[in-house]
Structure 1
């Protein structure tokens, strides 16, 4: 990405053209670090969105509906009191820094009052939105969207009532004419030994991010990682000419707004430099008419990525925690089973006591008797309860045996259930790994809620769930192959979609997707491709020679009460495949 001083300069130009003299009708705060100003111009209304979120810092004009909280936060209330009804006088950026000052004449002002300033500092994790007012020779802070006490920042405090102090200047240069640029670059190349060109440009010039410096380097035909001291005179001259041209573009407001999208369809960055158009061999480059439209699109991509990462992390943590609980439960059951397995000793002791009942004395605490049930064994020491009769001691051992026998059956059943739960949670983790987007994760969260692992909020319960279709491939022989993307889809594929003549596949003994081939006897090539898909969409994705079972769909059934995606099957055969990514990409994925 590149929300740098250059891009903010382009935004300031657009905002000045469209929003100067606009009346501030309403102020909203849709998020903890977001502000929206509803602005009125004679022929059109605008919404100006400002964000101090670290990964989405910036501002832009938007047409989208904004969902606001029922109770406005305190900073929003302050802005409503101070600037609603006021007018925007100007947008000012100093020295190509990532700081924009919006001067606002207060409501009811007749031009005699000092204007208020809404200052946006769009600097990553240090971003903030601050309302200030001139008071004599100082500028006082009325409020900020993020309070920064002196304990957090010794250089400057951003608290109500404090004097506003801008961030320290970095002593960098602004792009200028060719002669000045050439002199600067030449001097820098002589004193900096190891700085790469892209980093050197960032160190020298105000307003350039590493991304913009990389674009300028490439446009000049220079590898951005080349050391500055290794630049040839012709290369320094090319860079100086580009910087001079960039300076003219800034003065004239000539910009080219580009969104760069990578091979995975994700927004990789954006730029206002025309050189970004030269990156079409690396990215899909989309051109926009305005910086606001470009920035809004990029941040929408980033917000989707953040939502995806946040929900994915939450679901992974949840499943990992539940797996630990199940593992502890399994260990406890196995310990109890081991104890129950020793119940046979109680039966033998009971039989020995019964056979020697006449030799046992009343009130004895123990007795040593011959063991007739194991030939050649030594006499057995048997502990007794002195308060019981010999006959009662016999019954005591038999009762303990029967109780342990019953417990063993119950424990074995519980162990099976625990194992099934472990496999289920592992399969959910696999579905999270393979989730293609946010909607996939919503389906998984819904499934976990139905299985009582997640308690859904009122909003989540009423939230319309997306209907996600299984993946559909077409084999080299033209036969459809379906792959479930989560446990719900696995059930749907196996129990509803699959026809009676379908073939069912699954990676052997590990969590994975159900795969359905729309043929009971597919050609060898189709079977191989289906097995590749079953192995790839399983925990064996990164392994070699993954065993994949396949059987007729009629041999697959779901036990009563089993969790989503859990089935048993019979009559299977096994094929071994190595699911390399390039092999999967060679199979035709249908939209």
Structure 2
């Protein structure tokens, strides 16, 4: 997974250039907290309603417009403070001082008046923050609310808390870039120390991010010491430098995706970077660059959240499997001790077979008889326990398979809820809380649905609930059920009740069952086909566990299912 590109000062200027024509002026109507480190503001302007997101998340500090979000987090303390402090006020100014990654949103009672409150967004990596300011008791401004407090133990230079006077961030090192600076002065400043070019640019001038440096010069130049650059290379770098400064000054901004990152500025009306294709702005969006940024950060953060949730659930399932295996081994050890009951009874018989057994011999014999009977009776209790542990282990293995093949956060969340409920870790109170928050599964499951080559319906369960649904609630007499033989994975139902299936339809169902199983990495996987009416639930088994007799064997090829899945894409 590619690393997330931070929002640098150039991209920030591009965002604000799209904001100003639309949002100045606008009225702040709604504030809600979308996450621990981000808030969303609803601004009413002449053309309608526009939402913006402000985030001080360390790895993804950002500021951009977003589509209308779902209602969430409006009851948080910070959201209530913003609503109380800014609600009904007009956004009248958007200021970005110098080359700092700091934006000040000024709010006044009505357009044309001076701001009386300010929302300051500081986008500086792990030092990022959000601060609501109002005029202080003297000439300065004081902090009314903030995203995170900075205690003196965390920063001796700039601690921040509610009620403190606001102090701007420390000035950046280096000098601000200037279009008027002559070539020789610029070159002398960059080449002052024998550093690699990228580091020399960043130490000599403000606002130079790694992404911007890559747009100004090839990677080989950036890694080389400045003393190794030729006169022609200096001239080309100067040309690119001037093109960047002109683009910023003239606000020539447009979105361009770049190798997992992006670029937001245009040189002479062309996309930045040597040999770059022309940009393709989204003409259907009101603010195309903001829209592209929202998509970029939304996709990357969702991917990171998916990976984190997947790792946490995998760890939980592995712990559950370890516990079940340990308990099954204990029960198996007790079962293995059952044959000793014969030898125990024989020892007891030997003690009582003596000519004149004493009281101690009789007591010992009775103890051995009781122990032998206990061992024999334990078979009836241990065998169901072993079967229950076996079913649970199979269920956990299937859960791990579903987790490995989950493509979205929704699938991982649904599987987590199944694991919590099935393993007895979810209390009624937690289930009520999930229902209240909207995360409890409601309505009918939504299995993967496709069409076979012959046009018959195919259903694929992507979790236990969906497996149970398609096998016992959706399947009709005449439908066929497919599953990888002796491998955890998805149930696949071919809707043969609609029409007769030919060989291509059966093979497609077998390929899907192989693809959505633990054997996905194999070239061929044995798949069992059983009429749906012959499936039976296992008493006491978890949802999605079935048993059957017989069945016909097919050989499924996981890779062949990819063409069927690709045909389903819109």
Determine which of 13, 19, 37 is the counterpart of 1:15: 19
**Pairs within 5 Å for 1:338-417:** 338-354=336-352, 356-361=353-358, 363-364=359-360, 384=361, 390=362, 394-417=365-388
Q: Match for residue 461 of structure 1?
A: 435
In structure 2, the CA distance between the partners of 1:496 and 1:205, relative to structure 1 (3 Å rule), is farther
8 Å CA contact retained: 1:2, 1:271:
no
Deviation at 1:246, TM superposition (A): 2.0
Cα RMSD after superposing both structures: 4.3
Query: 1: CA distance between counterparts of 2:58 and 2:473?
Result: 46
Q: What is aligned with 2:206?
A: 206
Distance 1:341 1:203, change over 3 A: farther
Match of 2:415 in 1: 444
State yes or no: 1:246 paired with 2:224: no
Residue of structure 2 aligned with 1:51, choices 50, 55, 69: 55
Which of 392, 401, 423 is the equivalent residue of 1:421? 392
SS of the residue corresponding to residue 290 of structure 2 reads helix
Which structure has the larger Rg over C-alpha atoms? 1
Aligned-pair CA distance for 1:120: 0.7
Contact 1:2 1:269 in 2 (8 A): no
Q: Superposed, which structure 2 residues align to 1:26-425 within 5 Å?
A: 28-29=32-33, 31-39=35-43, 46-62=50-66, 64=68, 67=71, 69=73, 71-73=75-77, 75-76=78-79, 78-79=81-82, 82-84=85-87, 86-105=89-108, 115-132=116-133, 133=135, 136=138, 139-177=141-179, 180=182, 184=186, 188=190, 191-192=193-194, 194=196, 202=202, 205-217=205-217, 227=224, 229=226, 233-258=231-256, 268-274=260-266, 275=271, 289-290=286-287, 291-302=289-300, 304-305=302-303, 308-309=306-307, 311-354=309-352, 356-361=353-358, 363-364=359-360, 384=361, 390=362, 394-425=365-396
CA 571–212 in structure 1, closer or farther in 2 if over 3 Å, else same = farther
Structure 2 match to 1:566: 545
1:474–1:589 CA contact under 8 A, matched in 2: no
Structure 1, unmatched stretches of 5+, are 263-267, 365-383, 385-389
Partner Cα distance (1:478, 1:149) in 2? 65
Aligned-pair CA distance for 1:406: 1.3
Change in 2 beyond 3 A, CA 1:244/1:564: same
Distance 1:425-1:241 versus aligned 2 partners, 3 A rule:
same
Aligned residue for 1:434?
Answer: 405
What CA distance in whole angstroms lies between the structure 1 residues aligned with 2:322 and 2:81?
48
Consecutive unaligned residues of structure 2, counting only runs of 5 or more, are none
Find the aligned partners of 1:270 and 1:306 in 2 and give their Cα distance.
18
Q: Distance in 2 between matches of 1:429 and 1:284?
A: 41
Question: Relative to 1, partners in 2 of residues 1:478 and 1:420: Cα closer, same or farther, differing over 3 Å?
Answer: same
Q: Is the 8 A contact 1:498 1:553 kept in 2?
A: no
Could you report, residue by residue, the CA deviation over 1:201-232 in whole angstroms, capped at 9, with x for unpaired residues?
Answer: 555553343334334447xxx66876365655
Post-superposition offset of 1:271: 3.7
Q: Give the TM-score normalised by structure 2.
A: 0.78
CA distance in 1, matches of 2:55, 2:369: 75
State the distance in 1 between where 2:74 and 2:49 align. 23
TM-score normalised by length of structure 1: 0.76
The residue number in structure 1 matching 2:526 is 548
1:247 CA displacement: 1.3
Q: Give the number of aligned pairs.
A: 545
Q: Is the 8 A contact 2:32 2:74 kept in 1?
A: no
**2:380 aligns to what SS in structure 1?**
helix
CA shift for structure 1 position 425: 1.2
